[in-house]
Amino acid sequence: MAKPPAKLDAIALLKADHRKVEDLFEKFEAAKSASAKQALTQEICTELCIHTMIEEEIFYPACKGAVEEDQMDEAYVEHDGAKVLIAELLAGSPDDDYYDAKMKVLSEEIKHHVKEEERPGDGVFSQARDAELDMNALGDRMAVRKEQLLAKFKAEGLPPPTTRTFKGHKLKQGEAVEAKAAA
């Protein structure tokens, strides 16, 4: 009989997600075939969607009042910026112009976000721990939600990302700069 997975507190669970996605970004950079890139994109986007959802639904609300408001505001905006790139990547294919560049920028955005969350002393996680939030209870709730979301997404596919801070401005698609310069 398989033993149940070890229980993680909220921060350990989120850090494990961070390490997994960092590894997936490295695999994407090394990937050569379009099919490998497509599969890795799907996995990266799934992991990031689930991660942002459990943070926004459970962890961030628990941090309200315990973590500096400016840092929490930035975290939400960083999530929304990533969600725009996730939507672009999911709607595209490795043969598209800028596909690899979008993945690279997503990777860089996530590295920045992780650094701010994990920064010793005054990062989001340090502030949350210093506030003595019940990390075990949060971790349990987040693990359950993560499993629910994973099962739902396997059955139904990924939903379009929901932004919380962006207003959904209508953007106009223009030509690449070099196309204009050649005209």
Predicted pLDDT of residue 178: 67
The CA radius of gyration of the chain, in Å to the nearest whole number, is 18
Neighbours of 101 (CB within 10 A): 9
At 168, the pLDDT band (50, 70, 90 cuts) reads confident
Give the model confidence (pLDDT) of 57-82 as tens digits. Answer: 999 999 999 999 999 999 999 999 99
Per the DSSP assignment, residues forming a β-bridge with 64 are: 67
131 φ/ψ angles, rounded to the nearest 5 degrees: -80, 0
In a domain, 178, yes or no: no
In a domain, 169, yes or no: no
**Structural domains of the chain, count:** 1
Neighbours of 12 (CB within 10 A): 15
Predicted pLDDT of residue 182: 60
Q: In this model, does residue 2 exceed pLDDT 60?
A: no
Token reading at 1? 């009989």
Predicted pLDDT of residue 176: 72
Query: What is the residue range of 114's domain?
Result: 10-154
In a domain, 50, yes or no: yes
Residues in contact with 60: Cβ distance below 8 Å, sequence separation at least 6, in sequence order? 72, 75, 76
Neighbours of 138 (CB within 10 A): 21
In a domain, 174, yes or no: no
Give the model confidence (pLDDT) of 84-119 as tens digits. Answer: 999 999 999 999 999 999 999 999 999 999 999 999
Give the model confidence (pLDDT) of 118-163 as tens digits. Answer: 999 999 999 999 999 999 999 999 999 999 999 999 999 988 888 8
In a domain, 170, yes or no: no
Token reading at 35? 């099919």
